[in-house]
Amino acid sequence: MSETVGAALRAAADALNAAGIPGAVWEARHLLADLTGLTPTQMLTDPDRPLDRAATYRAWIERRAAGEPSSRITGFRDFRGLSFRVTAETLDPRIDSEVLVDTVVAQCGDGPARIADLGTGTGCLLLTLLTERPAWRGIGVDLSFGAARTARENAMRLGLAGRAVLLRGSWSHALADASLDILISNPPYILRAVLPGLDAAVRDFDPALALDGGADGLDAYRAIAGDAPRVLKPGGRLFLEIGWDQGQSVPALLTAQGFRDIAVTQDDGGRDRVVSATAPQ
Ligand SMILES: C[S@@+](CC[C@H](N)C(=O)[O-])C[C@H]1O[C@@H](n2cnc3c(N)ncnc32)[C@H](O)[C@@H]1O
């Protein structure tokens, strides 16, 4: 006799609970919904329906119980209400990065603008902003071929390919002088020495290229700040996600490059999260 949806869900929640995965029941339902297309209502109202793809579901639950993030298993992550394809070459988008999107939306108008996103990964920051600002056009750049390809795929899936160009390249090197109204980046900012001690869900599944900020965590900020005055129009706006302890060091780099109106925005936990600044005139 084939396994039912209700029995599979109970077994999955028990396995995830035993492995100490927070929100085990929710995770069990989320993975089943992704695999089968069943809605939570169908799971609750028809628990005796036979489960298709039961073996795959068990394998997914084993991987999740072993600590693999759900986005690495399903290949997708929701970010600000949109679904993004995630691959081994992209960072798994973090809810913390929504602070950068909120800050840009709050500080920039909705008229036509040209924006670039350096280290675009899945493209989640750029593509979310293009969705919320229909008059904007954007360029996303990533050093990883695979990330640039995935960001392009996400742009197509979201119907944004006509307003977004996704390129493989290093930071802003390929961008023209004074070509941007807005420059954003969530660059790698973790100290190289602490990478081996990171939580296994990050260390073993996010690409090192997305995490490694060099000896002091500031390598990428130095590169971006050094070239930003060239690619931004005079008075253009810069927005950088930062680590919780970089609320002084990153503004100091921007001050040295002539940026003004430098401000630090905190996340919901009160930690420094985003630095915004205005390019020299
Ligand atoms: C912290 S991840 C951010 C990804 C995405 N923007 C997000 O917020 O989810 C940093 C990204 O920078 C990219 N990167 C690293 N070095 C780079 C470089 N020299 N030029 C462009 N991108 C780079 C990595 O491949 C990675 O996708």
For residue range 240-265, what is the model confidence (pLDDT) as tens digits? 999 999 999 999 999 999 999 999 99
Q: How far is the CA of 135 from the centre of ligand 1 (A)?
A: 25
Report the pLDDT averaged over residues 35-58.
95
| CATH classification for the domain delimited by 76-278, as one of 3.40.50.150, 3.50.50.60, 3.40.250.10, 3.40.640.10 | 3.40.50.150
Report the pLDDT averaged over residues 106-111.
96
Per-residue 3-state assignment (H helix, E strand, C coil) for the chain:
CCCEHHHHHHHHHHHHHHCCCCCHHHHHHHHHHHHHCCCHHHHHHCCCCECCCHHHHHHHHHHHHCCCCHHHHHCEEEECCEEEECCCCCCCCCHHHHHHHHHHHHHCCCCCEEEEEECCCCCHHHHHHHHHCCCEEEEEEECCHHHHHHHHHHHHHCCCCCCEEEEECCCCCCCCCCCEEEEEECCCCECHHHHHHCCHHHHCCCCHHHCECCCCCCHHHHHHHHHHHHHEEEEEEEEEECCCCCCCHHHHHHHHCCCEEEEEEECCCCCEEEEEEECCC
Q: Is 188 in the pocket of ligand 1 (CB under 6 A)?
A: yes
Q: Is 217 in the pocket of ligand 1 (CB under 6 A)?
A: no
Q: Is 129 in the pocket of ligand 1 (CB under 6 A)?
A: no
* Protein residue with its CA nearest to atom 12 in ligand 1: 119
What pLDDT shows up at residue 242? 98
Q: Is 171 in the pocket of ligand 1 (CB under 6 A)?
A: yes
For residue range 113-144, what is the model confidence (pLDDT) as tens digits? 999 999 999 999 999 999 999 999 999 999 99
Domain ranges in the chain are: 5-67, 76-278
What pLDDT shows up at residue 1? 53
For residue range 177-232, what is the model confidence (pLDDT) as tens digits? 999 999 999 999 999 999 999 999 999 999 999 999 999 999 999 999 999 999 99
